[in-house]
C-alpha cells in the first residue's frame, strides 16, 4: 500500500484527480471503476475542469460504478446514477453507452447481480478502481460480514451506513435499506485501486484498514492483499496512524 498524506480535502481531491487524469491520458480507453459519496466530489469537479480546458478526453472511457440503492430509479436525486450524472458524466464527453451502474429498480436480485457481473467480466479488468471508505470500513456497499463477497450481491445496509447516508435524505425513513454492490472480489481484480478518505470520521476505519487484521468485518482490510493500492487521505483521516507514516517518503 502506498499512502499519500494530504493536508485537507482539497489537496486530497487534487491528488486523486491527478491520478485519475493520468490514467485517462496514459490509456484513453481505460475502464474506470467509479464511486459515489462526498469523498470523490472534489476530484470529479477537477476532472470536469480538466475536460473543459481540453486536457482530458473521456470519449473512449468506460465507467463501471460500484453500487446503487435498491428501489431508487435513476432519476431519483439520491440515486447513484443521478449522482454520477450531476457530478461527472453530464459535464464530460463520456458516451452514455459506456456508463454502467447496477439497476436499482430490478427486483430480481439473481438476474441483476448476474447481469452486472457479466458486464464487469466482459469489459474488465478495471484499470483504476476509485473507492471511498465507509465509517465502518465498508467499500462500495460491502458491509462488515463474516466473509468477503466475490461478485455483485444485494446488501442489507447496516444502521451505521443508514445513519451516515441519512444526511442526504429528507428523513432517515427515506434511506433505502438495501443496495446492489460490486463484490470485494471484483474490486480486488482491478489493476490499480485508489482509496480516498478525508476527515476525522474516517480515522478509525482507516486505521483498521491499514493496521488491523485482514477480516471481512472490515471490508477495506482486504486491500492489504492487493499489490497496487494507493491511499490518498488527509491528516484528519490518518490521525490515528500518522505516527507510523513518514511524510517525507
- Active-site annotation, residues: 67, 136, 138, 143
In angstroms, the Cα distances linking 22 to 19, 159, 176, 205, 244 are 5, 37, 35, 28, 28
Q: What H or E segment, with its residue span, contains residue 100?
A: strand 99-100
Between 53 and 167, whose beta carbon lies closer to ligand GLP?
167
Minimum distance from residue 28 beta carbon to ligand GLP (Å):
26
Q: What three-state secondary structure class fits 193?
A: strand
DSSP code string of 139-156: BTTB-S-SS---S-EEEE
- Strand-strand pairing, 99-100 and 62-65: parallel
Q: Which of 17, 35, 190, 206 binds ligand GLP (CB under 6 A)?
A: 35
Between 37 and 183, whose beta carbon lies closer to ligand GLP?
37
Query: Is 141 an interacting residue with respect to ligand GLP (CB under 6 A)?
Result: yes
Q: Which of 23, 36, 79, 87 binds ligand GLP (CB under 6 A)?
A: 36
| Triad 180, 185, 186: Cα angle to 5° | 65
Q: Which of 39, 129, 136, 208 binds ligand GLP (CB under 6 A)?
A: 39
Query: Is 155 an interacting residue with respect to ligand GLP (CB under 6 A)?
Result: no
For residue 96, what is the DSSP state?
G
Number of shown-chain residues binding ligand GLP (CB under 6 A): 14
Query: Is 142 an interacting residue with respect to ligand GLP (CB under 6 A)?
Result: no
Minimum distance from residue 80 beta carbon to ligand GLP (Å):
8
Between 168 and 244, whose beta carbon lies closer to ligand GLP?
168
Minimum distance from residue 133 beta carbon to ligand GLP (Å):
6
Whether the CB-CB separation of 63 and 128 falls below 8 Å is answered with: no
Instruction: Please choose, out of 13-21, 22-30, 37-45, 235-243, the segment that lies near ligand GLP by the rule CB under 6 A.
Output: 37-45
Site for ligand GLP in 54-113 (CB under 6 A): 66-67
| Cis amide leading into 5 (omega within 30) | no
Q: Which of 37, 50, 102, 104 binds ligand GLP (CB under 6 A)?
A: 37
Between 57 and 216, whose beta carbon lies closer to ligand GLP?
216
Q: What three-state secondary structure class fits 72?
A: coil
Q: How many CA atoms lie within 13 A of 179 on its CB side?
A: 26
DSSP code string of 159-193: HHHHHHHGGGSSSGGGS-SEEEE--HHHHHTSSEE
* Binding site residues, ligand GLP, CB under 6 A: 35-39, 66-67, 132-134, 140-141, 161, 165
Amino acid at each position: 500500500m502506498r499512502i499519500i498524506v494530504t493536508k485537507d480535502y482539497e489537496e486530497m481531491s487534487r491528488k486523486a484527480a491527478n491520478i485519475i487524469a493520468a490514467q485517462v491520458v496514459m490509456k484513453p480507453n481505460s475502464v474506470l471503476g467509479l464511486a459515489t459519496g462526498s469523498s470523490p466530489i472534489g476530484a470529479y469537479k477537477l476532472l470536469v475542469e480538466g475536460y473543459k480546458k481540453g486536457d482530458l478526453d473521456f470519449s473512449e472511457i468506460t465507467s463501471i460504478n460500484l453500487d446503487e440503492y435498491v428501489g431508487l430509479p435513476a432519476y431519483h436525486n439520491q440515486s447513484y446514477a443521478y449522482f454520477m450524472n450531476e457530478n461527472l458524466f453530464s459535464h464530460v464527453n463520456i458516451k452514455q453507452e459506456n456508463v454502467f451502474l447496477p439497476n436499482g429498480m430490478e427486483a430480481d436480485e439473481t438476474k441483476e447481480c448476474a447481469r452486472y457481473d457479466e458486464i464487469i467480466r466482459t469489459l474488465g479488468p478495471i484499470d483504476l478502481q476509485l473507492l471511498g471508505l465507509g465509517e465502518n470500513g465498508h467499500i462500495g456497499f460491502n458491509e462488515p460480514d463474516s466473509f468477503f463477497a466475490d461478485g455483485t450481491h444485494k446488501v442489507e445496509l447496516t444502521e451505521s451506513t443508514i445513519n451516515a447516508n441519512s444526511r442526504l435524505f429528507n428523513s432517515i425513513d427515506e434511506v433505502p435499506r438495501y443496495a446492489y454492490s460490486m463484490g470485494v472480489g471484483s474490486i480486488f481484480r482491478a489493476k490499480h485501486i485508489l482509496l480516498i478518505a478525508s476527515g476525522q470520521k474516517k480515522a478509525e476505519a482507516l486505521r483498521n484498514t491499514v493496521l488491523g487484521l485482514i477480516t471481512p468485518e472490515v471490508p477495506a482490510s482486504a486491500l492489504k492483499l492487493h499489490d497496487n493500492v494507493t491511499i490518498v487521505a488527509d491528516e484528519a483521516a490518518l490521525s490515528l496512524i500518522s505516527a507510523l507514516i513518514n511524510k517525507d517518503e
